[in-house]
Amino acid sequence: MNMMNDKDKETYDNLIHSFKNAVSIEESRYYFGEIQLYLDNLQSADEHSITKPQLEEYQRLRKELIEATSKKEVRYYEDQIHEWLNKIHYSKLT
């Protein structure tokens, strides 16, 4: 994942805010899809910025989130994905 400029970061933060404030599983899934699409578009600009194991971990978390059957599960995988994103972000800073 490449480093985001201020505009990209603001857009991402807005999507995350909407995702966190979703009131249903359907709404959570919608915003997750929007976030995924947004990150995929950013990723395409810098294809080699994450490793294959990192990408596989992300895809596993994403699959689990999509297959979640309760709001509790959705929130759990949301948190796991946020942790993953933070870990990737901070690893790029060092």
**What digits encode the pLDDT tens for the residues 50-64?**
777 887 888 888 888
The predicted pLDDT at position 1 comes to 42
For residue 14, CA distances in Å to 40, 56, 66 come to: 17, 26, 21
Each as own residue / partner, the long-range contacts of residues 69-75 (CB below 8 Å, 24 or more positions apart, any chain) are 69/25, 70/25, 71/24, 71/25, 71/28, 74/25, 74/28, 74/29, 75/28
Residue 18's pLDDT band, with cuts at 50, 70 and 90, is very high
In the predicted model, what is the mean pLDDT of residues 2-28? 84
User: What's the whole-model pTM score?
Assistant: 0.53
What's the number of CA atoms in the CB half-sphere (13 Å) around residue 47? 0
